[in-house]
Every structure is written in structure tokens, then in C-alpha cells.
Structure 1
Amino acid sequence: MKICICGGGNLGHVVAGFVAAQGRHEVSLLTRQPERWSTELTIEAPEETTYIGHLNGIFSDAKHAVSDAQIILLCLPGYAIRDTLLQIKAYLHPDAAVGTVVSSTGFFFQAMDILPPSQTLFGFQRVPFISRVIDYGHRARLMGYKDRLELAIEHCSQPEALRDALSNMLRTPIHLLSSHYEVSLSNSNPLLHPSRLYSLWKDWHEGIIYNRIPMFYEEWTEEAAQLYINMDRELQALLEQLPVRKGSIATVLHYYESTDAPSLARKLRSIEAFKGIASPMIPVEGGFIPDFHSRYFTEDFPFGLAFVHRMTHEKGIASPTIDMIYEWGMKMIK
């Protein structure tokens, strides 16, 4: 298959290199910085496994990148999705499938607004890999796999065939969901990150300087876990008012095999792939302050949590925890 990966971030590196390393697909990349990329990508994986992927093309213009692609996979933050869809729209083959590596950043809402109504769309509920760039354009680390992926497909006459193609491409079993709401309204990063950020810095104001950078997951607190559980309960109430199958989005307690806030906090602290990730802060004279320009803020509040927040209000769902944390986060990034 001819596959185009859009985006040169952590996931763009790993997905492009991992898929290309299989040697069964022609993989191209759409990025703003093609001059920084090698056509050979090295991906370091767990258990000392290394993948070497050869890219067939690295482009900054959409026409060359997507015009003959059968699958276009966006590995992009929420703020880049709309512009990229507008760039590629004129060059898409009518039979091409356009999708996103994670749907909670508003992909389906924006794609349905921009692309032709017959264009096949797909999106994953959670990212397939935990990824980190080591040497930009040359080497990245695949830090963790998912045992199974959840996928939504819209405007497709043969969704099972597309599901199987993506499963083979990512070498991971994929469960097909019934509605894009089941992936667009996620209780993953859009709830996970804001709950922790709020617990860390809800009392921050200009002039407060911290003497250390806490680890984001390894020091996860019971307060953050309880906020996460509360937000998830409000999301689950919203899902009951939408055309989704009951249980299609597992509660966070079920997903993380926990029973309450203390056990959830312990679980999040113990996940191997989450270790070594620092909280988003920047150095200043005398210490550190929160980095409100980090993707934890600029991605998860206006392009993740925002869609959940908007829909709870549209459906009249009481969401006091979501409201509190969303309003705090949006105030911090303004």
C-alpha cells in the first residue's frame, strides 16, 4: 500500500519508521521540515529490538505527499489538524482513507466539516505507541505498545477491510467501534493530563517559583486520581445520551484495573512506559514555573477537553469537575 504519514513529531517518527520497516508498504512523509529528515529512520523498541525503515519520499507540499496515497494518517496535535486537512483536500484520491492516530483532538468534527462527505475517515481511540524522538528526522524510541486498538470508521463501504489493513500495518489487533463519538470523546489524554495539571498548579499565580520539577506520572497523587475519576464519571454520563454502545469507552478504573483513587494513583505511578516523563515546566531565576505553552496545555485543553466540555453543555449534563478544570486551563493558556 501507499501510505502517507502527516506530521514530524514523536508519533510521526515512530509510526513512519515502524510501518516502513516492514518492507511491505511505500511510506511517504508530509512535514514542514523535510530538509532535517533522512530517508532511513531508526526506531528503538523494547527488548533491544531495532527497526530500520526506508521512506519513499519526504515532502513539505501536500500534492506530492498525498496525491497517490491510499491511506493518509495524521500524527498531529489538534491545532495542526484543520490546516493540514485544508492543505491536502484538493489532492486526495476519492477512494483514499484519511485518518488520525488519535481522535480526541477533534479530528472527526473537523474532517466532516472540511472534506467531501464521501471521503472515508478513520480514527483511533488511543495512540498505538508511546513515542519519543531521539535524533530528529533520524532516530526515535518506541517506548510502549498497545495490546489492542479501538477504531472508528465513517463513510466507508468496506470498514472491515480497512480495519484489517490498518491492523496489518500497525501489527496490532484492532476492534471496530460503531460511532466516531466512541473515539472522539476519550477519557485518555483529554482527561488524564488536565486532572494532573490542575492538581499540580491550581494555586499557581505569577510570582510563585518552584524549586524542583516533579515527575508527571511517577509522582501521581491521589488527588489527581480522584479528579480523573470524577471527570470520567461526567463523561460516562454524557455517553449515555449519545449513539454509542454501552461500555464502548471503558471507565478509567476498569481500563487501569483499579478500584478507587489510591489504587489508580499506584497504577499510574507504576506504568513502565510512563516513567521518566517530567511535568511541563520552564526554568526561571530561582527555580521553575509551569510551561503553559507546552502541548499538555495547548493540546489537551482547547482541542481535547474542549469537545467534551462543549458536548456536556449541549446535552445538559452536569459536569462540575470538567467545568472547573477546563475553565482553569483555558485561563492559564490565555
Structure 2
Amino acid sequence: MPGSIVLCVCGGGSGAHALAGLATQKGVEVRILTLFEDEAKKWNRVLQKEELTVVINENNRPPREVTSKPKMVTKDPEEAIPESDVIIFTVPASVHEIYFKAIAEHVGKRTLIVGLPGQAGFEFQCRDLLGEKASLISMMSFESLPWECRVKEFGKRVEIFGTKMYLSGSLIRGKSVTKPPLMTLQKFLGFQPILRQSKHFLETIIMSYSFVHPVIFYGKWKDWDGKAVAEAPLFYHGIDEATAELLQKCSDECTAVASAILEAAPTKANMSDVKDIHHWYMENYKNEIAETGDLFHSITTNKAYEGLTHPMTESSGGMKPDFNTRYLTEDIPMGMVVFRGLADVLGVPVPITDMIIEWGQEKMGKEYLVGGKLNGKDIEFTRCPQKYGFSTLDAILTGEKST
């Protein structure tokens, strides 16, 4: 159905470049909305002379290139949003609020709004900031980007290094009729990843696995002596077995919360797709992992992670870990704290999650968890359900704030 879908891609990073290039090449009208600095102006200057090229690396095949030209790049929501059938956020969760506020008055009632990834709490924030429109539009939230990708030349060239086999996303269908959500999104991406709809949106919150980056950061730097190091250590491929064990324990806590939800609301919240993290790696990176025997080797032999290093800052004498990386500043308040809020509602203890949050908040100079309770001064900057007035499981499921 070339020309029949209008897609607005929110963002100007690697994911926005890849999505815009792939969808435009498939005959979709693509508009790009980027609100930051002069990205729109810079991108438009490039597109006046060049097309956007997506370089796709596929397993055991030579790289191939897809070239196309999006219809519009703008920083004005009034230009980009009206008549858009689908709006996809490819920006970090920490700036979703800025985009929601910018687009709210222009969103049509038949629109599909997608977080790619949405990360934990996407639905809570959408409901809060769109108000009455939230009951009309449909919303989807995916667990991650479909690819590992990097911009090579802004506005001109982006490279996809690895594509996931499968990608799961939740759907809350609004009252107004929309195009088939999953089929529409699959058209944008092509044959891979194969998109799956989770049984319930709480599954996606749990399976965002927002603990992965913070745990790996903790495992590497918890005993750091403060001295600069000569070079940035490998991130995923540099983990030790103790870190892999912590990742497994966090996964076990996720499974425990999912079981508690199912027990409390067996007919309202199907949690049957919640997977152990090792199972998740095996399924999503089946063709990339050399040794699949355990979680440690599934991460350290994953070819999609080759060469990826810890975020660092330059320092006299070498490099130091960057504790302001999004691996902490986004994944903790927009991920782990949201999960912690869900666990709190269910009354499920999550001691390893607590330990990682407490370590991370100290490194960032933030305060979310105090004395085992989510009452720190920075809780307002998170997306935990309690912030939006959802303090019971029934309120979380219905979207009606607790009284």
C-alpha cells in the first residue's frame, strides 16, 4: 500500500536514521520530527544534496545498501504530526516527555503511537500527558530497538551491524479504529525482526530487562579505586561470571513479579510470555552467539556485541567511567525504578534490584530509593506507576488513577 501510510519518526539519532531510511524505501511517507538544537536544519542541508543510505550487515552475507529520501525533516510538530497515521519515538526515554508535550495537541484520534523502544512506564506517561486522547489512540511499546546501529554521517549514512530475530511489543488498543498495528510496523522494518505482540503491556515492562546495563556497569566498577585506566574496557564481552550471576538474579526477580501479577489477576494479565534472560538471548541472537551453554557465554560470544566498550570520559592519565551515561541515567529511573514500583505494588521483594538502584543513584547523585521505599527526592523524574497515581494493580491495569 505505497503512499497510504504517513509515518512520523521522532528523533535524530541512529535509530531514527535507520527507521526513516528503511520505511521510506518501502514507499511510506516519512516525516522526521527532531526537537533538539539544529538537527532538523542540519539534516535538511544534507538531504538537499544527498539521499539517506542504510548499510545493512546480515549474517554470513556481504553488506547491502538501501537508499531513499524522507519527505520531511522538521522541528515543528504542527508540520510533522497532523495526518500522521503512526508516530514512532526513537529517542531516549528520558526525553519522551518533551516529545509527548510537543505533539499532544496535534495527535489525531486514530493515531498509533509507538515507543521503539518504549521502555518501562511508556504507557503510564502516555496516558498522563495525552489525557482524554489516550483512550482513543492506540499505543505500542517495544522492548528494544530492532537493530544495533550507528550513524556514520549525520543525515546521510547509518550502518546496521546486527538485527534481532524477534522483537516483542505490547499493544493497548484505543477506542478509535486504526490500521492493523503489527502488520503496519512490520511493513516499515521488512522481514526481520519478526514482530510479536506480547500478551499484556506489563510483560513488556518486565521484559525490558532494564537492569542489564546497570548491572554490567556495577560489575565492572563497584570496586574501582578512582584511578584512570589506559583504555575503555569491553562492555558486554568484558563481563565476568559474577556479573552474569547478578544478571540472572535480576531476571529471577522479574519472573517472580510476573508470577505475582498472574496470581493476583489471572484473567486480566497474561504473563505467559515472560522469559528467563538466558532464554531471551538464545531466541533473539540465535545466529550471533557462538556458545549458548549458559548466560555468561551467550553474552560474551555474541557477535553483535563485538568491540562495544564502556562509556568513558577522558581524564589526565587515561580514561574514567562515565557515570552520566544513559546506561545509568536512563535505565535506572526509566527502567529499574519503574519495575521496582511494580514490585512494590505486588509486595514482591527484589533485593538485587534494590542493590543496583542504590549503587547507581549514588554514582549519579540522585535519590530514588530511600530506606527501602520509593520516596526519594528524584522520584518525580522517573516513570514509576506511583508517580502517575497508579498505586494498585487495578489502577495499573485500567489506567484509572487510585483514589
Please report the TM-score for the alignment, with normalisation by the length of structure 1. Answer: 0.93
Of residues 274-283 and 103-112 in structure 1, the stretch that sits farther from structure 2 once superposed is 103-112
The alpha-carbon distance between structure 1 residues 73 and 139, as it changes in their structure 2 partners (threshold 3 A), is same
> Residue by residue, what CA displacement relative to the aligned partner does 1:107-155 show, whole Å, maximum 9, x if unpaired?
1110011112212111212321111111122211111112222121113
Query: Which letter does structure 1 place at the counterpart of 2:23?
Result: V
Task: Select which of 17, 20, 40 maps to 1:16.
Answer: 20
How far residue 184 of structure 1 moved from its aligned partner, in angstroms, is: 2.2
Task: Select which of 161, 172, 186 maps to 2:207.
Answer: 186
Aligned counterparts of 2:203 and 2:183: Cα–Cα separation in 1:
19
The alpha-carbon distance between structure 1 residues 266 and 75, as it changes in their structure 2 partners (threshold 3 A), is same
How far residue 192 of structure 1 moved from its aligned partner, in angstroms, is: 1.2
> Residue by residue, what CA displacement relative to the aligned partner does 1:34-67 show, whole Å, maximum 9, x if unpaired?
1121332111111311111211000001111111
Aligned to 2:401: none
Aligned counterparts of 2:18 and 2:174: Cα–Cα separation in 1:
27
- 2:99 is paired with a residue whose SS is helix
Of residues 164-173 and 90-99 in structure 1, the stretch that sits farther from structure 2 once superposed is 164-173
Question: Which protein shows a greater Rg?
Answer: 2
Task: Select which of 30, 35, 40 maps to 2:33.
Answer: 30
> Residue by residue, what CA displacement relative to the aligned partner does 1:267-317 show, whole Å, maximum 9, x if unpaired?
111111111111111110112211012211211111111111222122211
Aligned counterparts of 1:110 and 1:330: Cα–Cα separation in 2:
22
> Residue by residue, what CA displacement relative to the aligned partner does 1:67-97 show, whole Å, maximum 9, x if unpaired?
1210000001111101100100001111111
Runs (5+) with no aligned partner, structure 1: none
Query: Which letter does structure 1 place at the counterpart of 2:56?
Result: A
Aligned counterparts of 2:269 and 2:363: Cα–Cα separation in 1:
33
> Residue by residue, what CA displacement relative to the aligned partner does 1:196-220 show, whole Å, maximum 9, x if unpaired?
0000111236x43223321101222
Aligned to 1:270: 301
Of residues 150-159 and 309-318 in structure 1, the stretch that sits farther from structure 2 once superposed is 150-159
- 1:257 is paired with a residue whose SS is helix
Aligned counterparts of 1:306 and 1:270: Cα–Cα separation in 2:
30
- 2:24 is paired with a residue whose SS is helix
Query: Which letter does structure 2 place at the counterpart of 1:231?
Result: C
The alpha-carbon distance between structure 1 residues 262 and 302, as it changes in their structure 2 partners (threshold 3 A), is farther
Aligned to 2:54: 43
Aligned to 1:248: 273
Of residues 126-135 and 55-64 in structure 1, the stretch that sits farther from structure 2 once superposed is 126-135
Aligned counterparts of 1:97 and 1:187: Cα–Cα separation in 2:
20
Aligned counterparts of 2:97 and 2:260: Cα–Cα separation in 1:
27
Runs (5+) with no aligned partner, structure 2: 262-267, 284-291, 366-403
How far residue 159 of structure 1 moved from its aligned partner, in angstroms, is: 7.6
Is the 1:123–1:151 Cα contact (8 Å) retained in structure 2? yes
Aligned to 2:89: 74
The alpha-carbon distance between structure 1 residues 10 and 94, as it changes in their structure 2 partners (threshold 3 A), is same
Aligned to 1:138: 156
Of residues 173-182 and 242-251 in structure 1, the stretch that sits farther from structure 2 once superposed is 242-251
Aligned counterparts of 2:298 and 2:199: Cα–Cα separation in 1:
30
Task: Select which of 315, 324, 328 maps to 2:355.
Answer: 324
Of residues 91-100 and 32-41 in structure 1, the stretch that sits farther from structure 2 once superposed is 32-41
Is the 2:19–2:188 Cα contact (8 Å) retained in structure 1? no
- 2:65 is paired with a residue whose SS is strand
Aligned counterparts of 2:360 and 2:21: Cα–Cα separation in 1:
34
Aligned counterparts of 1:310 and 1:209: Cα–Cα separation in 2:
36
Identical pairs, percent: 25
- 1:240 is paired with a residue whose SS is helix
- 2:260 is paired with a residue whose SS is coil
Is the 1:104–1:185 Cα contact (8 Å) retained in structure 2? no
How far residue 226 of structure 1 moved from its aligned partner, in angstroms, is: 0.5
Task: Select which of 213, 217, 222 maps to 2:232.
Answer: 213
> Residue by residue, what CA displacement relative to the aligned partner does 1:155-200 show, whole Å, maximum 9, x if unpaired?
3366882211111221233222222111122243x12111100001
Query: Which letter does structure 2 place at the counterpart of 1:307?
Result: V
Runs of 4+ in 1 over 2 A off after TM superposition: 155-160, 184-188, 207-212, 241-247
Equivalenced residue count is 330
Is the 1:108–1:184 Cα contact (8 Å) retained in structure 2? no
